[in-house]
Amino acid sequence: MTPWLGLVVLLGSWSLGYWGAEACTCSPSHPQDAFCNSDIVIRAKVVGKKLVKEGPFGTLVYTIKQMKMYRGFTKMPHVQYIHTEASESLCGLKLEVNKYQYLLTGRVYDGKMYTGLCNFVERWDQLTLSQRKGLNYRYHLGCNCKIKSCYYLPCFVTSKNECLWTDMLSNFGYPGYQSKHYACIRQKSGYCSWYRGWAPPDKSIINATDP
């Protein structure tokens, strides 16, 4: 078993490839949970790829240009390569070369970063401003909180550490409003609750405030 195959069992996260492969099943996860449960979170551009003979169907090794690191400074301060299964049926991830910048999350095994469809991976230009701010500092503040998924009503929080995630009630399988615009952060009262912060700035100055 390759490190990534073990990771598929251990870690399920919402990603752009949720419906990407018939045999790859991933549990929905709020981006904050994906952030907090990842060893590495970076913004990067893919500049090359190659197929290596590793695992039952091979492993794709992407060469990346790291733009910014949000998590993983002690694990691997600079990432040059990311590894994923070559087969989408094993949750392998397909990325465009020399085209987009991506938000990439993953785990580290034997000094290598592994990622796949069950990780939070998204084109940078598809992230909301709130998600970008979450990556910069808000998600980190909420890593001691617990995001509790609600699939059917009624559902309730059972401790002061929980935020109730209800996106699946109306947007099952897709990122919903809480995923796109909210972080679960502990407040001064000691309770965790959803936090959005200020409204997005005018579109003409978004680039100036881009995290």
Q: Is residue 211 within a helix (H) or strand (E), and if so which, with residue range?
A: none
C-beta of residue 21 within 8 angstroms of C-beta of residue 91 = yes
DSSP letter at 137 equals I
163 known member of a binding site: no
Strands annotated E in the chain: 40-52, 59-71, 81-85, 101-109, 112-114, 122-123, 146-149, 162-165, 183-186, 192-195
Where are the alpha helices (H) located in 3-66, listed in sequence order? 3-10, 31-36
**Of 45, 110, 113, the residue nearest 77 (C-alpha):** 113
Which residues line the annotated binding site?
Answer: 24
Which residues line the annotated binding site for Zn(2+)?
Answer: 24
